[in-house]
Amino acid sequence: MVLGLVPGRALAADPIRIGTFLSVSGGASFLGDPELKTMVMFIDRINKSGGLLGRRIDLIHYDDETRAKNAITYVKRLISQDKVDLIVGGSTTGNTMAVIKLIQKAGVPFISLAGAGVIVDPVKKWVFKTPHTDKVAVAKIFTDMKARGLSKVGLLSGSGGFDKSCRKNARALASEFGITIVADEVHGKGDTDMTPQLTRIKGTQGVQALLYCGFGAPTSIVAKNYKQLGMTIPHYQTHGSASMKFILGASGAAEGVRLPAAALLVVDQLPDDHPQKAVGTAYKAAYEARYKEPISTFGGHAYDGLLIATEAIKRAGSTDKAKVRDEIEKTNHLVGVDGIFTMSPSDHLGLNAGSFVMVEVRNDKWKLLQ
Amino acid sequence: MAVSADFLQFLFSGITVGAIYGLVGLGFAIIYNASHVINFAQGEFVMIGGMTTVSLIGLGLPLLVAVAGAILATVGIGLLFEKLAIEPARDASIVALIIITIGASILFRGAAQVIWGRNFHSLPSFSGDDPILIGGAAILPQSLWVIGGAGAIVAGLQWFFNHTLAGKAMIATSHNPLAARLVGINTRFVLMLGFGLSAMLGAAAGILIAPISLTYAGVGVMLGLKGFCAAVLGGLGKPMGAVAGGLIVGISEVMTAGYVSSAYKDAVAFIIILAVLFFLPSGLFGDRGTERV
């Protein structure tokens, strides 16, 4: 499905073709939906102001419905039939990992919007990503816990790729931060009731904090179940929950949940000299005006993905895949909405540490923790 | 002490979700009774009930009106479905009819995505979220609504089948459609009634559970499958068997998650159905099938 956007003036004939596959429906819809909306808005703006290198950008989009099989089919189509120059997409870790082999074989620059560290670690030539990794998130969470004197953690995770990777990182990093995982529970895809798992965590001797690794509706259900069971230990989640949909879905039960998120989520509370403030505020104003719904960090990942891609194409002066790839790798101090990117041959994410902040839910809103 | 509080917690959780599976299973049983067809769109009635209520509440209607409206809407869709897709194909083979219901379920899901979008929606709990403590276990008031609501519906159905002419006509048709027609029962009307009832049951289940588990366009898939497991476990065609089957599946699932491993929870329903099909094909309460030659 081609979203060819009509430009304001006549542009050079051959459009730049950017492909994307996103989880606009299915379990990860609260990731894919804002991502698509952001991409449409971003490309619209570029086309209206003269295009990129004087050429119109065509966005070719497919909804993979949060299913890895569909992701593979659509990426094949994007590469061989739609002949795209570059791909920005893959809302979930599962779907991204499923297509990496295809991407590497075809040699198409690919910027992923998914969370887990395994996407760029080990580094793969054609694969980059924009969201903070689960490893960085876990490190940030553990740092916060340590500062509050919490060291015994009950872990709950789902069955998604991100969940599994996050759990693995939590177990691996725990000792480094002086944390012990005293309970490790798992729930299935599509589960609507996590009280059995939370009951076991609640009953574990000496547990001091709860950490949930997941995304989508389960994040809200876990919050509701936590409240139902009358749990009082500090409740942490990951940036997979960094969206108003998490708060709304929990109907008041999200109060007090802490999580690491890109500064975009609390852009209004950032000091004026914070590097993300200007870009973030502009994005938030444009998105909320056009779509009449609050921003989420997921839309921000898509914005940054396109920003990196379009800047690289500009610097390369063409859409030659190898040249563009090299330019993406050379991204240096690019101020995006979710952070400042400086990539290198050994780092295909390149986010600075300061771009991730701890936030807490207060009165159904995000509050920046200093 | 801690063990028994946990056990109670799991038990309540299992009865709550089991009540939902039971309602969905009842829907399967009723339609099977009326036509020997497995209606794989049953799960979608659950979804439509919940989602319509969300929309009606979003329009500002009070809860009771929204619930009534949603149930009526779902029953209407069930009846339309029967009239437009099942009745014209009534002389087709059972397999063809089952495939039609599968197609309908996909259609309903797709339409739901277009109408309600792809996001999750929540319904406010009927009487608040403050958990009630019983023996150390915390139950949501909504769980009591689910259990009570399902119980009331099942009791109502029992009365309907045993004490009204229409209900008895349905039972007669399920035993022997030809004989039923011969004594003047309008079997086509019975079929329509069956779909209407099942749609109502599905909608009720969807509305009762939505405040607890959030609802979205695809919620019917798993619920439909597990409701089907419940119906088969109870003996396909035995309404009370389906309810018992639902409770068994629900409690087994939660006990497995609580005491064995949470990773295997989803497998429980399917292991049960495999065991039933291998060892006890007519289910716990079904008649052993015989064919007169």
- Residue percentage of chain A with pLDDT more than 70: 96
Shortest distance between the Cα of A130 and any Cα of chain B, in A, equals 23
SS3 call for A173: helix
Instruction: Tell me: do A216 and A361 sit in the same domain.
Output: yes
CA A296 to chain centre: 9
Total domains present in chain A: 2
Residues in chain B with CB shorter than 8 Å from the CB of A159 are 263
| Burial class for A176, CB neighbours closer than 10 Å (0-12, 13-18, 19+) | exposed
Instruction: Tell me: do A76 and A165 sit in the same domain.
Output: no
* pLDDT tens-place string over residues A104-114: 999 999 999 99
**Is a pLDDT exceeding 90 seen at residue A217?**
no
CA neighbours within 13 Å on the CB side: how many for A114? 33
DSSP A268: G
* Global pTM value: 0.78
Q: What's the domain range around A54?
A: 2-133+277-352
Instruction: Tell me: do A106 and A186 sit in the same domain.
Output: no
CB–CB contact A29 B118 (8 Å): yes
* pLDDT tens-place string over residues B153-166: 999 999 999 999 98
Most A-contacting residue of B114, B214, B251, B266 (CB-CB within 10 A), to test interface: B214
Q: What is the pLDDT of residue A154?
A: 96
Which of B122, B217, B218 minimises the CB distance to A249?
B122
* pLDDT tens-place string over residues A70-107: 999 999 999 999 999 999 999 999 999 999 999 999 99
Instruction: Tell me: do A140 and A122 sit in the same domain.
Output: no
Tell me how crowded residue A105 is: count the other CB atoms within 10 A of its CB: 10
Quick one: pLDDT band at residue A17, thresholds 50, 70, 90?
Answer: very high
Q: Is the peptide bond before B88 cis (omega within 30 degrees of 0)?
A: no
CATH number of the domain that residue A19 is part of: 3.40.50.2300
Instruction: Tell me: do A18 and A128 sit in the same domain.
Output: yes
Regions in chain B scoring below 50 on pLDDT = 1, 291
- Residue percentage of chain A with pLDDT more than 90: 69
Instruction: Tell me: do A364 and A215 sit in the same domain.
Output: yes
| Burial class for A59, CB neighbours closer than 10 Å (0-12, 13-18, 19+) | buried
Higher pLDDT, B288 or A257: A257
Instruction: Tell me: do A128 and A151 sit in the same domain.
Output: no
Residue B288 phi, psi (nearest 5): -65, 125
Question: How far is CA A334 from each of CA A18, A111, A260, rounded to the nearest angstrom?
Answer: 20, 15, 21
* pLDDT tens-place string over residues A179-191: 999 999 998 877 8
ipTM tops the 0.95 cut: no
Instruction: Tell me: do A141 and A127 sit in the same domain.
Output: no
* Dist. CA A2–CA A18, nearest whole Å: 10
Residues in chain A with CB shorter than 8 Å from the CB of B140 are 228
Question: How far is CA A20 from each of CA A3, A35, A83, B170, rounded to the nearest angstrom?
Answer: 11, 10, 12, 53
Instruction: Tell me: do A172 and A128 sit in the same domain.
Output: no
**Is a pLDDT exceeding 70 seen at residue A8?**
no
Summarize the confidence of residues A135-142 as an average pLDDT. 91
Q: What is the pLDDT of residue A45?
A: 94
* pLDDT tens-place string over residues A353-367: 778 899 999 999 999
What's the helix, strand, coil split of chain A in %, to 5?
A: 45, 20, 35
Summarize the confidence of residues A230-251 as an average pLDDT. 91
* Dist. CA B112–CA A114, nearest whole Å: 27
Instruction: Tell me: do A75 and A206 sit in the same domain.
Output: no
Instruction: Tell me: do A138 and A260 sit in the same domain.
Output: yes
Q: What is the pLDDT of residue B293?
A: 54
**Is a pLDDT exceeding 60 seen at residue A30?**
yes
SS3 call for B126: coil
Shortest distance between the Cα of B121 and any Cα of chain A, in A, equals 7
The domains found in chain B, sorted by start residue, are 2-279 (1.10.3470)
Cα-only R_g, chain B: 19
Quick one: pLDDT band at residue A276, thresholds 50, 70, 90?
Answer: confident
Residue A298 phi, psi (nearest 5): -65, -45
CB–CB contact B119 A33 (8 Å): yes
Shortest distance between the Cα of A27 and any Cα of chain B, in A, equals 9
Q: What is the pLDDT of residue B2?
A: 53
| Burial class for B153, CB neighbours closer than 10 Å (0-12, 13-18, 19+) | buried
SS (H, E, C) B139-206: ECHHHHHHHHHHHHHHHHHHHHHHHCHHHHHHHHHHHCHHHHHHCCCCHHHHHHHHHHHHHHHHHHHH
* Dist. CA B50–CA B66, nearest whole Å: 10
CB A85 within 8 Å of CB A346: no
Instruction: Tell me: do A313 and A340 sit in the same domain.
Output: yes
